[in-house]
Amino acid sequence: MGLPLRKSKVAAPPPACPLTESLSLLRGAWAPNVIWYLSAEPRRFGELRHDIPRISARVLSARLRELESRGLVTRKVLDTSPPSAEYALTPLGRELLPAIEALARVGRKLIDQWELGASHAGARSRPRRVAV
């Protein structure tokens, strides 16, 4: 049997961490990608599916709803037949773009380093056979 859990004597919860709050806006698979593809202009659902081919319709729909509920994306219903909606970034959503761009730059550097390391390792040893 474990020790009994003691009650906290702290009167109030700690203040929210700004970094944690900012990162929570980007939680969820594909959220940064959706924001990135909305950065240039408003896009319809099908256009976003085309922009991000590996995302399923179900996940894209969930991400768009989440981003809309967080105030990062707006949804405008278009008067077309069949009905369609257009998604765009809000001013708050646009504020995340520099952070996403910075993360992408770091990611590009990491990929370049890994590729450079792989090419150097390949020059020193025989290429490995991969079972198919």
Query: Considering the entire predicted model, what is its pTM?
Result: 0.74
According to DSSP, the β-strands at 43-44 and 84-89 are: antiparallel
- Give domain limits for the chain: 18-124
pLDDT tens digits for range 32-69: 999 999 999 999 999 999 999 999 999 999 999 999 99
DSSP string covering 72-115: SEEEEEE--SS-EEEEEE-HHHHHTHHHHHHHHHHHHHHHHHHH
Compute CA 54 distance to the chain's CA centroid, rounded to the nearest angstrom: 14
Evaluate whether 89 touches 38 at the Cβ level (below 8 Å).
Answer: yes
Of the CA atoms within 13 Å of residue 114, those in its CB half-sphere come to 6
CATH code of the domain occupying 18-124 = 1.10.10.10
Rounded Cα gap, residues 55 and 32, in angstroms: 12
Q: What integer best gives the mean pLDDT of the chain?
A: 88
